[in-house]
Amino acid sequence: MSDPRTIHNPRTFKERFGALRSLRPFVAMVWRTSPGLTSGLVLLRLVRALLPVVSLYVGKLIIDDVVKLVAMPDRPTTFEGWRQSGELGWLGLLLLAEFALAILSDLLGRVVALLDSLLSERVTNASSVRLMEHAATLDLEDFEDAEFQDQLERARRQTSGRLTLMGQLFSQGQDIVTVASFAAGLLVYAPWLIVLLAVALIPAFLGEAHFNAQTYTLDFGRTPERRELDYVRQTAASVETAKEVKIFGLNGFLIEHYKRLAAGFYAANRALAVRRAAWGGVFTAIGTMGYYAAYAYIAWRTLEGEFSVGDLTFLAGSFLRLRTLLEGLLTGFSSTAGQALYLNDLFSFFEMKPEILSPSQPVAFPRPIREGFVFEDVGFIYPSAERWAVRHLSFTLKAGEVVALVGENGAGKTTLVKLLTRLYDPDEGRILLDGRDLRDYDLDDLRGSMGVIFQDFVRYNFSAGDNIAVGRIEARDDHARIERAAERSQADEVIARLPGGYDQRIGKRFKNGVELSGGEWQKVAIARAYMREAEVLILDEPTAALDARAEFEVFQRFKELSEGKTAVLISHRFSSVRMADRIFVLADGKVADAGTHEDLVARPGLYAELFELQAAGYR
């Protein structure tokens, strides 16, 4: 995978405008989202682009015709006289044409706005789906990296935050056509006016480019603080944290922490906004001076008789519109380059690749497992960690046996499970399954053959049935399988008490949700492992909220239902793991001892020591 830390903040002018390369995949994404809507928008905006110059030219013809009629020596003095003279026919057609153009412009504007909003929503949905799909391919190691989290946050913000860019690109394309049509008109009269206008607007363009880059630099550098700001806001007002926040009286602390972070953001943004406004005023004044110099030149040529009054109106209007459009285009182009910097965050995220992949010619997962798993001198260290999580780890997990892992916190029990499921790959040694390296197997097939429930299992605010079905989501409509999994984990007793049964939403995040106790949640979570009907079952301390008797019953049932399957269970309660075929005692990332409960208790060692300490608490 490309290291997210190699994606840096563009600082040079070349790097900033190099980010425009992200526009091509963005436009391609917009097109793929809806070719029909995109084509319709382009066509309608092309028509709208030509309307301003046509309308202005019709206005010129109207003025010239009025001036001509006013100059007639024997012109009628009443409307009836004008009507009977037949001189108003051409003027009437011009007025009718201008009216029709105004109606058409309004209608096209409304249709374009409608299509813009529809396409924007579809692009948002499509990019959000793509982000979720791509995130699902990345390694667990990535998600546990703080700098990756910063990049993910920047990418997530761009799935909806760049909607204005899409409309801006379409608008700029439309304005380019309009500018070309106005420029063509001015070239006929005074080509050098366009050069004057461009020179007057270049400072504003460079200023906008500079301040857009400054804004991105500020946002880029403060991504960690923004994540912390969002975290504090969520912590201060969420159902997950409400109890502790109230009991410990944390509201004041969290609010002050939020205010301090927000004040830092405000101060930095204010300083940049003040500088931008000041320089923007200077650049605008330069552009205005250029406009009025050109306007004075046009007026003088009219006084000399070289231009008609209609020409004066057309040229002055064209120059004013051209100035506004060019100013908008230049600053818009700078803004587009600035937004492309943000867009680069999204597409840089899409370019990230996982390290843990299936081989080009994967081996099918054995069903059933014939020999089992063998850890051969396995070592693993977490990124940026100073000590190995496990090292020189060697043992055999035989097919069809139930193994328990015990040990003090940090001994490497959960790390071992993550290695077994290929959430990580060993840095040293290898893990074999039926004599083949675990990396030889298809990754999805491997993980799909394992039912794992971790101690920090997710409490989905879905229906009770869906909470179980996530264990094998493709079997979500198999209600008999869901009920069978619930019965095995004893979650059926919990669900029977719910008002809506398996259709009842659980959790308090949404309306009509019913909250469960910690032990009830754990039974529902364990049902996911049974829902999977996997070759390998792993329970990594998911029963901590159960009392000793309930946990013993769950594990006893787990052993019975694991008949013929390879199973691993982790628990701190020694009374619960004693039914395992073998118990591995982990210490300092190694297997310190192994055997049955009776064997381990009978001889001096860590297991006997910990067992005695725990048993003493019940005497």
Return the HEC string of 314-326.
HHHHHHHHHHHHH
What number of other Cβ atoms are within 10 A of residue 119's Cβ? 22
Report the range of poorest mean pLDDT among 7-21, 125-139, 258-272. Answer: 7-21
Residue 182 has pLDDT above 80, yes or no: no
Between these two residues, 305 and 504, which has the higher pLDDT value?
A: 504
Confidence band for 87, pLDDT divided at 50, 70 and 90: confident
- Whether 45 shows a pLDDT value over 80: the answer reads yes
Domains of the chain: 4-350 (1.20.1560.10), 368-449+534-619 (3.40.50.300), 459-530 (3.40.50.300)
The percent of residues in the chain predicted with pLDDT above 70, rounded, is: 76
Q: For the segment 231-280, what is each residue's pLDDT rounded down to a tens digit?
A: 777 777 665 666 566 655 667 777 887 788 888 777 777 877 787 777 76
* Rounded Cα distance, 156 and 407, in Å: 39
Which of 316-320, 405-409, 486-490 bottoms out in mean pLDDT, i.e. has the lowest? 316-320
Residue 7 pLDDT: 45
For residue range 162-172, what is the model confidence (pLDDT) as tens digits?
556 777 777 77
Residue 417's Cα: distance from chain center in Å? 29
Q: Write down the residue that tokens 């019940």 correspond to.
A: 618
Give the mean pLDDT of 98-124: 87
What CA–CA distance (Å, rounded) separates 334 from 207? 9
Q: What is the pLDDT of residue 375?
A: 93
pLDDT for the residue numbered 6 = 45
Q: Give pLDDT tens digits for 479-510.
A: 999 999 999 888 999 999 999 999 999 988 78
Above 90 in pLDDT, residue 282? no
Please report which confidence band the pLDDT of residue 428 belongs to, taking 50, 70 and 90 as the band edges.
Answer: very high
Confidence at residue 243, expressed as pLDDT on a 0 to 100 scale: 56
Identify the bridge partners of residue 430 per DSSP, sorted by sequence position. 376
Residue 2 confidence class, pLDDT cut points 50, 70, 90: very low
Q: Mean of the per-residue pLDDT values for the chain?
A: 78
CA distance linking residue 261 with residue 237, whole number of Å? 17
Which one has a higher pLDDT value, 437 or 131? 437
Distance CA 422, CA 108 (A): 56
- Measuring CA to CA, which residue among 495, 486, 561 is closest to residue 527? 486
Residue 531 has pLDDT above 70, yes or no: yes
Q: Which of 202-211, 259-268, 389-398, 510-519 has the lowest mean pLDDT?
A: 202-211
Range scoring the smallest mean pLDDT among 154-163, 398-407, 489-498: 154-163
pLDDT number for residue 378: 93
Q: Does position 305 have pLDDT exceeding 50, yes or no?
A: yes
Contacts made by residues 510-517, CB under 8 angstroms, sequence distance 24+: 510/461, 513/461, 517/545
Q: Residue 333: what pLDDT?
A: 65
Q: Higher confidence at residue 137 or residue 487?
A: 487
Q: Once rounded to an integer, what is the mean pLDDT over residues 569-596?
A: 83
- 504 versus 15: the higher-pLDDT residue is 504
Average pLDDT over residues 99-103: 89
How would you label 382-401 residue by residue, b for 16+ Cβ within 10 Å and e otherwise?
eeeeeebbbbebebbbebeb
Say if residues 116 and 41 touch (Cβ distance below 8 Å).
yes
pLDDT value of position 329: 67
Confidence of residue 3 (pLDDT cuts 50, 70, 90): very low
Closest CA to 466 of 513, 413, 426: 513
Q: Pairing state of beta strands 372-380 and 566-570?
A: unpaired
pLDDT band at 4 (very low <50, low <70, confident <90, very high): very low
Is 69:91 a contact under the CB 8 Å cutoff?
A: yes
Distance from C-alpha of 416 to C-alpha of 425, rounded to nearest angstrom: 10
pTM for this model (two decimals): 0.64
Helix crossing, 89-137 with 35-70: angle to 10°? 160
Q: 491 with 443: CB under 8 angstroms?
A: no
Asked if 428 and 594 touch (Cβ cutoff 8 Å), the reply is no
Tell me the C-alpha distance between 455 and 131, whole Å. 27
Q: What is the dihedral of CA 198, 204, 206, 210, to 10 degrees?
A: -170
> Distance (Å, rounded) from C-alpha 172 to C-alpha 337?
13
Nearest to 365 by CA among 430, 448, 251, 451: 448
Which strands sit side by side in the sheet containing 566-570, from one edge to the other? 450-453, 536-540, 566-570, 402-406, 582-587, 590-595
pLDDT for the residue numbered 171: 77
Check if the beta carbon of residue 356 is closer than 8 Å to that of residue 424: yes
The answer, yes or no, to whether residue 14 has pLDDT greater than 60, is no
Q: Read off the tokens for 401.
A: 């046996």
pLDDT at 66 over 70: yes
Work out whether the CA dihedral 420, 422, 424, 428 comes out positive or negative.
positive
Does 512 score more than 90 pLDDT? no
Cα separation, 303 vs 513, in Å, equals: 79
Segments in 351-454 forming alpha helices (H): 413-420, 443-448
Q: What percent of the chain has pLDDT over 90?
A: 10
